[in-house]
Structure 1
Amino acid sequence: MLDLGCGTGTLLVALAGRFDRLTGVDQSPDMLRHAGAAAERAGVRVDLVRGDLRDYRGERRHSVVTCTYNTVNYMVDEGDLERAARTLRAATEDGGLAVLDAHPVWFVERGWAGQVFVEQNTEDVLEVWENPYDAATGRVDTTVTVVRRTPEGGWHRVHETHPQRGHDPAAITAALLAAGFSSVDTYAGLDREPVREDTRRVWYVAR
């Protein structure tokens, strides 16, 4: 199994034991470090590689390739979606599956764009998510500010920007088929319900 955009390795660790070999790819060294630590804590062997979804090419192909948790929404520039689809196809062995998800345009415009979300799950961590929207490009340059209490009693602030955009099912399906997959099924969730107009996250299974 290969997880493209593996982040902190949550999916890889969860699926340990179901595959002979697990590989995670992410362009962020920090994410790979967290993924390595998570795998070590779980006693799981994972190969971790730094790479970009738009041009990653590994040494082998895989029976299952995943690309989840909005990773495809980070494809914001012209041609990025098609390049990502070609990466997915190049990584998937013949007869294998590629599984991915993405927020569609209608969710970005109605439920995400221009919104501000504040989360405080503990007294020691506060998160603020701001989502300015550019209708001309369809981009949401999400800014995330995290304030965390330090062991010394002070506060540490982290500020990041995450450019993203919505991709409708027709566009993703077309890109996957053009990349060489023979079929693409879409679902509204892991229960395989059909996609509706108000679906927030669309799942794709490409063969």
Structure 2
Amino acid sequence: MNYQAFAFLYDSLMEDAPYERWIDYLRLQLNQRQFDGLSVLDVGCGTGELLVRLQKEGAETVGVDLSLEMLSVAKEKCEQAGFSPPLFHQSMTDLEGLGSFDVVTIFCDSLNYLETEVEVCRTFEGVHRHLQEGGFFLFDVHSLNKIQEGFIGQTFAEDGEDLAYIWTSFEGVYPHSIEHELTFFVREESSGYYERVLELHKQRTFSIKQYHDWLIKAGFCDISVYADFTVATPTDQSERIFFTARKKMRGK
């Protein structure tokens, strides 16, 4: 399937994603109304939705993603918005040579695609290397409750004219992990027939304490933890956990 079709699937599936709420959360955590001149590395940038919004807010953006198809779509989307940010094809576990940034983000539960402690720690270390002293690292993950109660054993479906899908979630191999089995039926514009597309996505989350300890180990400080796009303390019922951390200043 070509990247235009793949983008149609992804952006259609994510059309209700609260991108503006991620921007608002970033604005709140940085205590800035605008991001003029702020250098931001968006890890797991996908099709570039956050890159476009950050650029409109005045940020100088760079994107990185494991998927070449996603990066191709992000490139086209950003160019249509009037700018061409550097886009890199890398795994978040092996970030290298991207520059030095005021802010690094890993939003939209992208970090949950890492299945092992080693992968998470390598990602934190890579982010730390790419931050300026005092720079901010912000990310969100699924809560333990979201994995156990919100996904496992659940089936989601949508029946649209051009796109229909069935999304079933199963318990994964690792503790607090999930496997999403997605079946898409995509209408081909030329023929009117539907193409069947299968996707398997694996995600895993860890406890707040584990993420906190791994951030400390990677050299971060001033770690704050919130829930569900707010500044509220997470509870057992929270669904999305947000972390904000800073790279230590030398000598402090």
Q: Is the TM-score greater than 0.5?
A: yes
Q: In the alignment, what sits opposite 2:233?
A: 194
SS at match of 1:15: helix
Q: What corresponds to 2:130 in structure 1?
A: 91
Superposed displacement of residue 43, structure 1: 1.0
Identify which of 142, 157, 166 aligns with 2:180: 142
Range that drifts further, 166-175 or 196-205: 166-175
**Aligned residue in 1 for 2:169:** 131
- Contact 2:176/2:206 (<8 A) preserved: no
Pair 1:114-2:159 in alignment: no
Do the aligned residues in 2 keep the contact of 1:106 with 1:166 (CA within 8 Å)?
no
Secondary structure of the corresponding residue to residue 199 of structure 1? coil
Extract structure 1 runs of 4+ deviating beyond 4 A: none
Partner of 2:33: none
Contact kept in structure 2, 1:150 and 1:156, CA below 8 Å: yes
Distance (Å, rounded) in 1 between the aligned partners of 2:211 and 2:152: 21
- How many residue pairs match? The answer is 206
Partners of 1:90 and 1:116 in 2: CA distance: 40
Cα deviations by residue, 1:120-147 (Å, 9 ceiling, x for unpaired): 3x32111221111036533212122211
Equivalences for residues 28-67 of structure 1 within 5 A: 28-67=67-106
Distance in 2 (CA, whole Å) between partners of 1:44 and 1:15 is 12
Determine if contact 1:177/1:183 at 8 Å carries over to the other structure: no
Give the distance between the partners of 1:125 and 1:133, measured in 2 at CA: 26
What's the TM-score, normalizing by structure 2?
0.77
| Residue matched to 1:167 | 206
Cα distance in 2, alignment partners of residues 191 and 46 from structure 1: 29
* SS of corresponding position for 2:212: helix
| Partners of 1:22 and 1:45 within 8 A in 2 | no
Report the Cα distance in structure 1 between the residues aligned to 2:58 and 2:208, rounded to whole angstroms: 29
SS of 1:127 mapped into structure 2: strand
Question: If the length of structure 1 is used for normalisation, what is the TM-score?
Answer: 0.93
Q: Is the aligned partner of 1:203 residue 2:242?
A: yes
Q: 1:176 aligns with which of 193, 215, 233?
A: 215
Residue 198 of structure 1: SS of its match in structure 2? coil
Q: What residue ranges of structure 2 are gaps of 5+ in the alignment?
A: 1-39, 247-252
What displacement does 1:20 show? 5.2
Question: Alignment RMSD, CA only?
Answer: 1.5
How far is 1:19 from its partner? 4.5
What are the ranges of 5 or more consecutive residues in structure 1 without an aligned counterpart? none
> In the alignment, residue 124 of structure 1 is paired with which amino acid?
D
Counterpart in the other structure of 1:101: 140
Q: Structure 1 or 2: larger helix share?
A: 2
